[in-house]
Amino acid sequence: MIAASEALNQLSSGWFLDHAYLIPIVPAVCFFIIILFGKRLPMKGSEVGVLSMVASLVLAGGTAMQWIDRVNSASEGQFISPVVHTWNWWQIGGMKFTIGQSIDGLAVIVLVVVAFISTLVQIYSLEYLRGDRRYTHFFAALTLFSAGMLAMVIAEDTILLLLGWEIMGLCSFMLIGHWWEDGANSRAALKAFFTVRTGDMGLLVGISMLYFASNDWTTENLGVSGFSIRGISAWALSGEPNSTVILVVSIALFIAAIGKSGQFPLHTWLPDAMAGPTPVSSLLHSSTMVVAGVFLVSRLYPVFFTGFDILGTGGNFITIIGGITIVIAAALAFVQNDIKKVLAYSTVSQLGYMMLGLGAGAWLPAVFHIFTHAFFKACLFLGAGSISHSASHHSFDMKKDMGGLRKVMPITFTTWIISTLALCGVFPFSGFFSKDEIIDNVGNNGYNTFMIIGLIGAFMTAAYMTRATYLTFFGTARGASAGEHHDEHDAHDAHDSHDSHAAASPHESGLLITVPLMILAVLALSSGFLNATPFGEKWELIKKWVEPSSAVVMETAPGGPGHSAALSLPKAEEGHHESPCGSETPEEGVCYAPQLQHAKFKWSKAAISLGIVFFGMLSSWFVCVALYTKKDKRLVGLTQRNGALRAGYKLLDNKYYLDTLYENVIVKAIAGPIAAGAYWFNNNILDGILHLVARVSRTVSGWVYRNIDQRVVDGTVNNSGRATRGVGGILQPVQSGKVSQYGALLFSAAAVAALVLVIINS
């Protein structure tokens, strides 16, 4: 057993760790600078956005280095406490609201990824959005978007987590609808906003329930409020929570993750979000918005671990949703002609893998997949943007305006291939070390059915990415890539600057676009070696740096230094306790993370996964050659000739009719009656009240006009005028204009006055 305060004092901290809160503050402040002064600056505010993300990256890098030093300086088995700093924000009665930072391995890895990808996307956008009509507004929203994610990552409490969560929701609405003049873009922005808000209700419910359920325990035993994420984690693993309450909390929180991370059935907003500029798609789909839901589950994992009894059953809500999402999203990618929508559904499928891993107890592989996925998915999206910017006349239609581009875009092609191989999980690319680990650990923890689903998803991923690669870079050039320009095309990024490129033939993009691609491609190739389990424990650095310890520790309770909290863990047998922190733990103590199992890597199992991936690639390649190049009559039009295939294609093309269900059934069933009721209330109640008030006002004003205004006010004025006129008529003869007469009157008046004085004084 370890005393947490003692362990904390023995480990080194550092300026970057203590001031990690500056990482989101810098871009948040720069957002206001861009909004207020951006248009007056030489680069219209874009330089402020880029510099803010570079500063955040430097701070995140320093934080990561000091955290690694902190971990490396710890002795084996020593509990490594996060670096926590909190400030009282607001207090009312016994309810205390704090705001602060909590920096641990999970926070560090996500901070580095978000800051790094955000920096590259901002640099990329300098060229891609050049000349845009809302250039300054774009960089302001993009900067605040990153600040929201960074704030959520460092949050020590659920209040700050909620704030960062909502900032991202607002910014995604602004960025997806950046070109709101196009009706499709504004509809996509509204769809994303309302769909995510539907899930966000679960977050509000979950946070509220967590506070009232855990506050007494966390305050008494740890001296923190029920908003503290660390306190909530300890409470969830203490054996104290009521099983029904924590199950309901877990469901509510996971509903929020479903909406934010595009899981089935709330995934429908994510492909439509492609209406935004491509840099937004890259950032949103790789490391910020959609990763927020996965991060939520990872951060509050003890709650889900206990609520869903993750290692105690063969299936739970998280694994079921993750497994469904993997397959249904991968299937939808096959029928897309828009290259960005292929990548969008690929993102949904990969998020399904992350959720599947978390639901099956593979916490570390799921978090590591967040890390690797950010690099190769950002590279793929920016590669799609490079193609549309320089080769396909700003169209994203693979069938109509692409083909044969590998010769004219060698850098984009090479980086695309590297990232595709990483996405498919080919050794030694990064996706192999993360996605294969998820599948392996899911099976090792007893979720065999979901392991098979993961392998099926790997086959489908390889197949649809091979199709997208063939249509884009191989075969014959078509449409815009062949030098033909269309008046109408499927162009999401129809901003002003594109007009200057309209007449250009397909060519490689400039350095501001290709350099970020090359950097991301290198990381897509190499980042997997940070946790290369096939090569032994010495290569498992992410495990060492990121995975939280399940050690049982003695915390310093509110009673003062040296006063240890005596916390009982769930009892199994006399003298020992069955605990999420271990099968046999001491009677007293608290833990902040559950004890998880790790599958032992075997090349025999990896070979099966690799074989499935290569089979998916080869089979898809031969079908593409036969269908798109040779025009094999047996394949061309097959989905129209065969009834079953026609029905299947129609189902996929209509996205399982989920949009129809939501918009034409659920929305109309809810919004229709509400609108009708509101209309009736408006006409019969509000308008009735207004009309009654108007009639009463008219009657009262008429009476006031006739009796007060006309008779009293006007009567008084008119009588005063008549009296004045009468007096003037009487005095008129006196004013004759003759001086002699005026002198006589004065003399007479003086005589009368003298007579009066004599009489008075006599």
What tens digit of pLDDT does each residue of 607-659 get?
Answer: 999 999 999 999 999 999 999 888 888 888 888 888 888 888 889 888 888 88
Residue ranges making up the domain that contains 673: 658-690
Which pLDDT value is given to residue 477?
84
Let me know if residue 192 belongs to a domain: no
3 state SS of 395 = coil
Cβ 23 vs Cβ 56: under 8 Å = yes
Helix (H) or strand (E) holding 573: strand 571-573
HEC assignment per residue over 334-364: CCCCEHHHHHHHHHHHHHHHHHHHHHCCCHH
Q: Is residue 664 part of a domain?
A: yes
Out of 384-393, 647-656, 707-716, 734-743, which region has the weakest mean confidence (pLDDT)? 734-743
Residues 6+ apart with CB under 8 A from 231: 214, 218, 222, 224, 225
- Tell me if 673 is assigned to some domain: yes
Q: Collapsing DSSP states into helix, strand and coil, what is residue 571?
A: strand
Query: Taking a C-beta distance cutoff of 8 angstroms, is the pair 613, 459 a contact?
Result: yes
pLDDT in tens, 183-194: 778 888 888 888
Q: Tally the domains of the chain.
A: 1
Q: Which of 112-121, 313-322, 477-486 has the highest mean pLDDT?
A: 112-121
Among the residue ranges 124-128, 328-332, 385-389, 710-714, the one predicted with the least confidence is: 710-714
pLDDT at position 350, please?
94
Residue at 685 is within a domain? yes
pLDDT given for residue 565 in this prediction: 42
Name the pairing type of β-strands 582-585 and 576-579. Answer: antiparallel
Residue 706's pLDDT band, with cuts at 50, 70 and 90, is confident
Strands 571-573 and 576-579: antiparallel
Residue 76 lies in a domain: no
pLDDT digit string (tens) for 7-60?
444 565 789 999 999 999 999 999 999 999 988 998 888 999 999 999 999 999
Residue range 470-509, pLDDT digits in tens: 999 998 888 877 777 655 444 445 554 444 444 468 888 8
Residue 670 included in any domain: yes
Mean pLDDT of the chain: 84
| Structural domain contains residue 626 | no
Instruction: Among 129-138, 159-168, 333-342, 552-561, name the one with the lowest average pLDDT.
Output: 552-561
Residue 495 near residue 277, CB atoms below 8 Å: yes
Read off the pLDDT of residues 79-89 as tens digits, 9 standing for 90 and up. Answer: 888 999 988 87
6 confidence band (pLDDT: 50, 70, 90): very low
- Whether 91 maps to a domain, the answer reads no
The backbone torsions φ and ψ at residue 156, rounded to the nearest 5 degrees and listed phi first, read -90, -20
Q: What percent of the chain has pLDDT over 90?
A: 45
pLDDT of residue 616: 95
